[in-house]
A and B are shown apart, each in its own frame.
Chain A
Amino acid sequence: MLYREAGQFKTTYVADQQIFPILQDRLFVLAVIVAAFLAVPMFASPYIYTEILIPFLILSMAAIGLNILVGYCGQVSLGTGGFMAVGAYAAYNLWLRVPELNNLIVVFLFGGVMAAAVGILFGIPSLRIKGFYLAVATLASQFFLDWLFARVKWLTNYTPSGSVAVGKLEVFGWHVDTPADRYLLILGLVVVATLVAKNLVRGHIGRSWMAIRDMDIAAEIIGFRPLRTKLTAFAVSSFFIGVAGAMWAFLRLGAWEPLAFDINRSFQILFMVIIGGLGSLIGSFLGAAFIVLMPILLNQLPGWFGVRMSTALLSHLEFMVFGAMIVFFLIVEPHGLARLWAVAKEKLRLWPFPH
């Protein structure tokens, strides 16, 4: 009943081009953001921060990055883990070697920029290679980067096992120590990143990506340059992924080795994008929530109902149910959770009337 857009007339193009043209959507998103900043810190425990909220937010950002490349520009990539590693190790080396710049924002941006540069490099084959073959080419980048961080010892500061750790972290003098601090920093960065991503995809750069995705020949004939457009997508996507990788390393793990960003990470992020919905930012969040939260939920569920079972059985069941749910969701809605979300909104507009 409350979700109606009747009476909301747009009289200027600025008003028509808002991110959320419907008033109720604006209020809802504003409420969510305010609640995330103010209400969550009032009750959240360290467990909720480190196991649920922080992974969810960081992986959402990585999913947004990958969605720009796969969902908006149509270039399949399996190199996400590698690009996250570039962000993490670039950030680590700057943090380690230039202590004067001990500001996480600067460090993370550096990680993102380096990842963008590497992304451009590995994006060059995309001019010639398409679809599954491009996926294989990006898979090569994943293996190459894994190898690079395991073998080039300078990058890991000659630690014997390749495992590195970060110590004191601060942002403009604010010491980011407690899980709550980390959460707030990540939340702030993710909100900004989402806004930037939205601005890009609704402007002419986003249209160029989607044009290449939908029909590359027509796009070329009306004046888009395929290589430049694809490389922009690779750069922007890798930037987001690199920043997410740096955040994952610094704020989630604290100490890590190259294995933290292996091929499984690439698949995890790709599944988030596919389950969440290709070409949708809200889908990136929904997909990340699904992949991060569902295993935890499945793990806890039997306990809530007083069912006791062995840990081994529980973890096997978790895998099976989780796998079945992914298959179920993709059969019911091949366009991902974002489409379910859109359908729900459409229904809500009419509710409680059938037409």
Chain B
Amino acid sequence: MTTRMRSFNEVLLSVENISLSFGGVKALTDISFDIAKGEIRAIIGPNGAGKSSMLNCINGFYHPQQGAITYKGVRRSQMKPHEAAEQGIARTFQNIALFRGMSTLDNIMTGRNLRMKTGLFWQALHIGPAQREEIENRKVVERIIDFLEIQHIRKAPVGQLPYGLQKRVELGRALAAEPELLLLDEPMAGMNIEEKQDMCRFILDVNDEFGTTICLIEHDMGVVMDISDRVVVLDYGRKIGDGVPDEVRSNEAVVAAYLGVSH
């Protein structure tokens, strides 16, 4: 296993002392970390550690009771999901959240929704600005379709696609927004080795070619240690480790959380 060593200076997003609870259940307690521009940042931890809650806080779906998130220099305690989307944060979901009644093409086109502005009048006529806008965005979407190698399922309803392809379409929908920060919630869950390799390749390519900053949650340690630049480890809603993969691997608290400790 080789670990990529890259250095980053500019902080894109920093999480400061976030605490989130649902009634009496503390999902997150006093979490702080940062994501540097251009890096691949992984969040790992056992089940129920609060990883998905963390992503939900970052993209405005949950509103933490304490703490603040600074994104692109703007510090705020909460924002709405569509504001996060407008700021360039896109994500995929642990359980596939595609629009099942629509085709692959339409699903990825929805990712462009914030860039499609023509009003009801032109849309009703579907000429002039509406048609131009549709074609321009279609071109972008077709590049993503080429990139993800899903040309053959362009017109297929996504509900009928196999799991691995659905995951890929979901990545495509997130990419269509041309995000600065891409949040991936278990992009490789339930995949076989080949599908995982493909997905790793896509993630690394997105990071290299588009310079997209990526924050991912993943359970496959091999994958995490291979592709991420830095890793945050959560357990029971607390941060127990943070650093480059080699540091995290030798961190005693992390080993204890994953393997248990002998008493």
Contact = CB atoms under 8 A, between A and B. Distances in A.
Interface of A: 13-14, 17, 196, 199-200, 202-205, 207-208, 210-211, 213-215, 217-225, 232, 236, 279
A205 B97 contact: no
Contact of A213 (B98, B101, B114, B135): B101
A17 B109 CA distance: 13
A222 B113 contact: yes
Interface in B75-120: 81-82, 84-86, 90-91, 93, 97-102, 106, 109-114, 116, 118, 120
B134 interface: yes
B97 A217 contact: yes
B90 A199 contact: no
Contacts of B138: 13, 17
8 contacts: A196-B125, A204-B109, A204-B113, A208-B113, A211-B113, A221-B61, A222-B85, A223-B113
A199 B126 contact: yes
Contact of B102 (A203, A210, A222, A223): A210
Contacts of A205: 120, 123
Contacts of A14: 131, 135
B132 to A, nearest CB: 10
A221 B59 contact: yes
A220 B84 CA distance: 10
A13 B136 CA distance: 10
A208 B112 CA distance: 11
A116 B90 CA distance: 34
A204 B114 CA distance: 10
- Chain B interface residue bracket vs A: 35 or more
Interface of B: 59, 61, 81-82, 84-86, 90-91, 93, 97-102, 106, 109-114, 116, 118, 120, 123-126, 130-131, 133-135, 138-139, 173-174, 177
B135 to A, nearest CB: 5
Contacts of B116: 204
A279 B101 contact: yes
A220 B86 CA distance: 11
Nearest to A193: B124
Nearest to B176: A222
Nearest to A232: B120
Given A196-B124, A207-B109, A208-B113, A13 B135 contact: yes
Given A208-B113, A215-B99, A223 B86 contact: yes
Nearest to A229: B113
A218 B124 contact: no
A86 B90 CA distance: 42
Nearest to A21: B155
Most buried by A among B131, B133, B174: B131
Contacts of B109: 204, 207
A199 B114 contact: no
B93 A218 contact: yes
A223 B97 contact: no
B123 A222 contact: no
A221 B101 contact: no
Given A224-B110, A224-B113, 15 more contacts: A13-B135, A13-B138, A196-B124, A196-B125, A200-B124, A204-B116, A204-B134, A210-B102, A211-B102, A214-B99, A218-B97, A219-B110, A220-B61, A223-B114, A236-B120
A223 B134 contact: no
Nearest to A207: B110
A92 B174 CA distance: 49
A224 B114 CA distance: 8
B15 to A, nearest CB: 18
A225 B82 CA distance: 7
A232 B120 CA distance: 9
A215 B99 CA distance: 6
B173 A222 contact: yes
A214 B102 contact: yes
A345 B215 CA distance: 46
Contact of A207 (B113, B114, B118): B113
Given A210-B99, A215-B97, A222-B111, A199 B124 contact: yes
B140 to A, nearest CB: 11
A223 B177 contact: yes
Contacts of A202: 126
Contact of A222 (B124, B133, B135, B177): B177
A279 B159 CA distance: 16
Contacts of A222: 85, 90, 110-111, 113, 173-174, 177
A173 to B, nearest CB: 26
A204 B123 contact: yes
B126 A203 contact: yes
Nearest to A208: B113
Nearest to B179: A222
A219 B97 CA distance: 9
A82 to B, nearest CB: 23
